[in-house]
């Protein structure tokens, strides 16, 4: 193995760029640091002056040389750093071998691993060196901006006391303390050695517990014992208690330590003052999932009780971030907390936070309340952002407002300040802020307010490394991308995008992506006769702890109706469709227009004129000015009523008008199939009409059973249809139960 001598390295070292930055020196012990570099990449933050690597606020230990290596690669991210340069700058001309560099890189990659959805950015360039790829944000940090981070994730965990009369071995408290320490370390919290308790930091949290038996007399006292560990957490600025119970004292200790870790993590997020951490606070709040929720008196089924105001005295900005996160999770306390934030913001003349409180309430109404109130709340909220600048709060507010207004189908004109922010590229900001910006631009294209192009279609693929806390937002991006692909007739890509959205939503606590990604995926699976995927979506709904929400019931009823239709049970399916329509019809973005065609087809299968007439009246109530798609659907309902009356000429005329009225969309593809069905009974208006209808149907002719049957009834495969075909067109006698051969 080749060794590098000092002399050899001096001669072989490449010439460095003229403006290559110099690695910051480590300040002597006892001397205050003079500031340093802060690099943010994915969920990680590296601080050179503190020599710390943080992952979502959790300190990750690194060896000195591995830290220096990562620091140097980050300072030169975007270019390849040769091994000779690393030996010169990081190892400072010491005589080391190639394997030493490889071992240091391996340690760096190990420190950056174990983060779901994040790939290590350190890449090897064969026989040359290494480089860091992906988004890296760098800024200089002034002295004193330490964010109070690491100290807040340490706890002095004392051995629990045993309740009076509890007959347990004397060695048990020490064993439980050791077991709790393992749980704390597994959750990213550093336990403090009791021997070093004399040098505690001012923010150090002390945990003292009491182990007792649960009162089982009310249950007859015949069951197995239940151990309860109550842990009091105390620091100079706060005090709270967590409780965990289990059939084993060790399991109770593990759960209590996990709940303590969650409490400390939330406290750290709320008290951090570093600008980079404040900007990413909403992402870190959204990442607070996966830990055992603490049992602290009464609490919401959606959020742990640690979100309550008594946890820590926090700023209005932190209050606003927590309120928005609670709204996305459907926390029923959101309306009350929103009004409280509005009152507090009004007292200190914080106009934007007043608007933010209205926006939080709009998100809650869209998620778990009444979607009909959303447009009014959004309009009222945006009036407080008239003088917004390029702050992350303004970008989030504008993107959320646009998402809500498009989601409920409201007609609105974006404010001038938001149009400027939305149309300008984001040159700075976290990956989460960039995702909000991309979400707004996807909405623009769906609304036909922006030029189409492949760049917008591929937007959801950008940033595949999804940091914890961004899964819900990334799921929305994939869902919108899938909707665009579906409108273009690219069924395979749409299915992949919606599957990806579903998988990401499962890792997020946000309710809307979890529900509506299942709706989109299950709906398309049913139309493609994919029973396995449809059943998986339905089974996943059963495991969501939100069964009381009206939208959950509506989504469940709709997918159950889809399954009943596949099982040839239209009567039962129509009953569920009637129940789901009043709720889902207000979800304009997710209740796509072709869903009305499924309702029409289901009502037709029941052969009930009353059902069809009532549905026609409902569709008329949703008709808006200049909405050609809804107008075409209303004509399709008229055609189906005529078909029910066996008036074939009238049914054909209405359906051809519906097909010609519909804009280019997924609705037009279905109406093209129905128009081709009508041409089975009456000669088409022109030789090109049949070719055009079957051509516009696209992939649905091959991917759906009705499409395949339609091609067979026309007695020609789709691929060889031609207006110039010499074969004469023959009109078929309509079958009594044929209906429209489409796949709505």
Residue 124, SS3 per DSSP: strand
> Looking at beta carbons, which pairs linking 681-684 to residues 24 or more positions away fall under 8 Å?
681/648, 681/652, 681/731, 681/732, 681/733, 681/734, 682/648, 682/649, 682/652, 682/731, 683/729, 683/731, 684/729
CA geometry: angle 591, 593, 594, nearest 5 deg: 105
> Looking at beta carbons, which pairs linking 2-10 to residues 24 or more positions away fall under 8 Å?
2/97, 2/98, 3/95, 3/96, 3/97, 4/84, 4/87, 4/95, 4/96, 4/97, 5/95, 6/93, 6/94, 6/95, 9/84, 9/87, 9/88, 9/93, 10/93
Q: Is the CB of residue 113 less than 8 Å from the CB of residue 64?
A: no
Alpha-carbon distance of 307 to 334, in angstroms, equals 11
Give the C-alpha distances (Å, rounded to integers) separating 107 from 3, 43, 56, 103, 136. 21, 18, 19, 6, 20
Instruction: Give me 586's structure tokens.
Output: 């207000």
Q: Is the CB of residue 662 less than 8 Å from the CB of residue 668?
A: yes
Alpha-carbon distance of 196 to 205, in angstroms, equals 14
Alpha-carbon distance of 403 to 440, in angstroms, equals 7
Instruction: Give me 508's structure tokens.
Output: 């997020």
Give the C-alpha distances (Å, rounded to integers) separating 478 from 287, 368, 410, 695. 19, 22, 22, 28
Alpha-carbon distance of 286 to 321, in angstroms, equals 10
Instruction: Give me 283's structure tokens.
Output: 């992402």
> What's the pLDDT score for residue 26?
33
Instruction: Give me 94's structure tokens.
Output: 């010491």
What are the backbone angles phi and psi of residue 265, rounded to the nearest 5°? Answer: -65, -45
Q: What 3 state SS string does 35-91 have?
A: CEEEEEECCEEEECCCCEEEECCEECCCCHHHHHHHHHHHHCCCCCEEHHHHHHHCC
Q: What 3 state SS string does 206-240 have?
A: EEEEEEEECCCHHHCCCCCCCEEEEEEEEECCEEE
What confidence tens digit (pLDDT) does each residue in 687-740 have?
688 888 888 888 888 888 888 888 888 764 443 334 444 444 444 444 546 788
> What's the pLDDT score for residue 454?
34
> Looking at beta carbons, which pairs linking 22-29 to residues 24 or more positions away fall under 8 Å?
23/48, 23/68, 23/71, 23/72, 23/75, 23/89, 23/90, 24/48, 24/49, 26/51
Instruction: Give me 164's structure tokens.
Output: 């009076």
Instruction: Give me 292's structure tokens.
Output: 């055992």
Pairing mode of beta strands 129-132, 122-125 = antiparallel
Instruction: Give me 529's structure tokens.
Output: 């006769």
Query: Domain residue spans in the chain?
Result: 6-141, 147-214+224-304, 637-744
CA geometry: angle 460, 626, 574, nearest 5 deg: 75
Locus of tokens 């051809």: 656
Closest CA to 229 of 201, 250, 198, 203: 250
Q: Is the CB of residue 654 less than 8 Å from the CB of residue 662?
A: no
Residue 204's contacts (CB-CB under 8 Å, 6 or more residues apart) are 151, 154, 155, 156, 192, 235
Residue 126's contacts (CB-CB under 8 Å, 6 or more residues apart) are none
- According to DSSP, residue 372 is labeled G
Locus of tokens 């089982």: 216
Q: Is the CB of residue 612 less than 8 Å from the CB of residue 640?
A: yes
Alpha-carbon distance of 592 to 439, in angstroms, equals 18
Closest CA to 334 of 369, 310, 304, 306: 369
Q: Is the CB of residue 228 less than 8 Å from the CB of residue 190?
A: no
Q: What 3 state SS string does 622-633 have?
A: HCCCCCHHHHHH
Instruction: Give me 315's structure tokens.
Output: 């700023």
Q: Is the CB of residue 742 less than 8 Å from the CB of residue 601?
A: yes
Level-2 CATH architecture, domain 6-141: Orthogonal Bundle (1.10)
Instruction: Give me 223's structure tokens.
Output: 């069951």
Residue 590, SS3 per DSSP: coil
> What's the pLDDT score for residue 143?
53
Alpha-carbon distance of 426 to 421, in angstroms, equals 8
> What's the pLDDT score for residue 148?
45
**Number of other residues whose CB lies within 10 A of the CB of residue 24:** 17
User: What is the enclosing helix (H) or strand (E) of 736?
Assistant: none
**Residues of the chain scoring pLDDT < 50:** 1-33, 144-151, 218-219, 290-306, 308-312, 449-464, 716-734, 736
Give the C-alpha distances (Å, rounded to integers) separating 203 from 49, 208, 236, 708. 21, 16, 7, 70
Alpha-carbon distance of 406 to 311, in angstroms, equals 36
Instruction: Give me 84's structure tokens.
Output: 């000779």
Instruction: Give me 630's structure tokens.
Output: 């809804």
Alpha-carbon distance of 470 to 56, in angstroms, equals 12
Alpha-carbon distance of 217 to 325, in angstroms, equals 40
Fold observed for domain 147-214+224-304: Double Stranded RNA Binding Domain (3.30.160)
pTM strictly above 0.75 = no
Give the C-alpha distances (Å, rounded to integers) separating 224 from 161, 217, 221. 22, 12, 8
Quote the radius of gyration of the chain (alpha carbons, Å).
31
Closest CA to 163 of 227, 259, 258, 234: 227
Q: Is the CB of residue 542 less than 8 Å from the CB of residue 579?
A: no
- According to DSSP, residue 155 is labeled E
């Amino acid at each position: 193995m080749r060794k590098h001598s000092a002399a050899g390295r001096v001669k072989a070292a490449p010439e460095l760029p003229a403006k290559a930055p110099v690695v910051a020196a480590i300040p002597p012990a006892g001397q205050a640091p003079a500031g340093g570099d802060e690099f943010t990449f994915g969920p990680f933050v590296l601080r050179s002056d503190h020599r710390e690597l943080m992952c979502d606020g959790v300190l990750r230990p690194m060896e000195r040389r591995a830290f220096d290596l990562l620091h140097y690669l980050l300072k030169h991210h975007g270019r390849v750093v040769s091994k000779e340069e690393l030996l010169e700058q990081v190892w400072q001309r010491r005589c080391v071998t190639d394997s030493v560099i490889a071992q240091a890189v391996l340690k760096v990659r190990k420190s950056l691993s174990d983060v779901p959805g994040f790939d290590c950015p350190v890449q090897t360039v064969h026989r040359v060196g290494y480089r860091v790829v992906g988004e890296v944000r760098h800024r200089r940090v002034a002295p004193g901006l330490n964010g109070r981070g690491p100290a807040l994730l340490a706890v002095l965990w004392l051995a629990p006391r045993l309740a009076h009369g509890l007959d347990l071995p004397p060695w048990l408290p020490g064993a439980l303390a050791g077991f709790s320490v393992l749980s704390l370390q597994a959750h990213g919290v550093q336990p403090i050695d009791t021997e070093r308790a004399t040098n505690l930091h001012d923010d150090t949290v002390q945990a003292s517990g009491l182990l007792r038996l649960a009162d089982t007399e009310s249950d007859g006292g015949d069951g197995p014992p239940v151990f309860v560990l109550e842990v009091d957490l105390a620091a100079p600025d706060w005090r709270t208690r967590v409780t965990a119970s289990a059939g084993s004292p060790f399991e109770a200790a593990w759960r209590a330590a996990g709940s303590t870790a969650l409490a400390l993590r939330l406290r750290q997020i709320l008290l951090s003052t570093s600008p980079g951490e404040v900007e990413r606070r909403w992402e870190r709040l959204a990442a607070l999932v996966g830990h055992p929720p603490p049992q602290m008196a009464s609490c919401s089924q959606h959020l742990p009780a640690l979100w309550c105001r008594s946890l820590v005295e926090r700023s209005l900005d932190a209050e606003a971030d927590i309120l928005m996160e609670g709204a996305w999770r459907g926390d029923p306390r959101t309306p009350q907390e929103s009004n409280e934030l509005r009152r507090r913001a009004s007292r200190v003349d914080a106009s934007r936070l007043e608007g933010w409180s209205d926006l939080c309430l709009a998100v809650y109404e869209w998620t778990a309340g009444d979607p009909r109130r959303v447009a009014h709340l959004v309009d009222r909220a945006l009036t407080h952002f008239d003088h917004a600048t390029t702050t992350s709060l303004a970008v989030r507010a504008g993107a959320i407002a646009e998402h809500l207004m498009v989601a409920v189908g409201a007609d609105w004109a974006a404010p001038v300040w938001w149009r400027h922010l939305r149309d300008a590229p984001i040159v700075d900001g976290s990956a989460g802020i960039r995702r909000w910006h991309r979400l707004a631009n996807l909405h623009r294209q769906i609304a036909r307010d922006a030029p189409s192009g492949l760049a917008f279609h591929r937007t959801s693929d950008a940033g595949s490394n999804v940091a914890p806390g961004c899964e819900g937002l990334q799921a929305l991006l994939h869902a919108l991308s899938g909707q665009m692909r579906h409108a273009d007739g690219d069924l395979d890509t749409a299915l992949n995008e919606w599957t990806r959205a579903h998988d990401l939503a499962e890792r997020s606590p946000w309710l809307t992506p979890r529900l509506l990604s299942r709706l989109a995926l299950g709906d398309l699976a049913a139309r493609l006769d994919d029973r396995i995927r449809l059943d998986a979506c339905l089974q996943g709904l059963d495991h969501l702890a939100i069964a009381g929400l009206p939208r959950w019931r509506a989504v469940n009823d709709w997918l159950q109706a889809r399954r009943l239709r596949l099982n040839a049970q239209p009567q039962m399916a129509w009953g569920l469709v009637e129940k789901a329509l009043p709720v889902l019809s207000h979800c304009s973005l997710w209740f796509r227009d072709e869903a009305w065609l499924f309702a029409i087809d289901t009502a037709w299968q029941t052969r009930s004129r009353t059902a069809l007439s009532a549905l026609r009246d409902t569709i008329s109530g949703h008709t808006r000015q200049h909405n050609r798609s809804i107008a075409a659907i209303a004509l399709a309902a008229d055609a189906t009523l005529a078909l029910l009356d066996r008036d074939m000429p009238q049914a054909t005329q209405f359906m051809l008008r519906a097909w010609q009225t519909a804009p280019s969309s997924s609705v037009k593809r279905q109406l093209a199939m129905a128009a081709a069905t009508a041409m089975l009974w009456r000669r088409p208006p022109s030789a090109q009409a049949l070719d055009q209808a079957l051509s516009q149907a696209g992939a649905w002719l091959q991917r759906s059973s009705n499409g395949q049957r339609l091609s067979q009834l026309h007695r020609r495969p789709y691929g060889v249809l031609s207006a110039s075909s010499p074969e004469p067109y023959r009109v078929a006698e309509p079958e009594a139960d044929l209906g429209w051969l489409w796949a709505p």
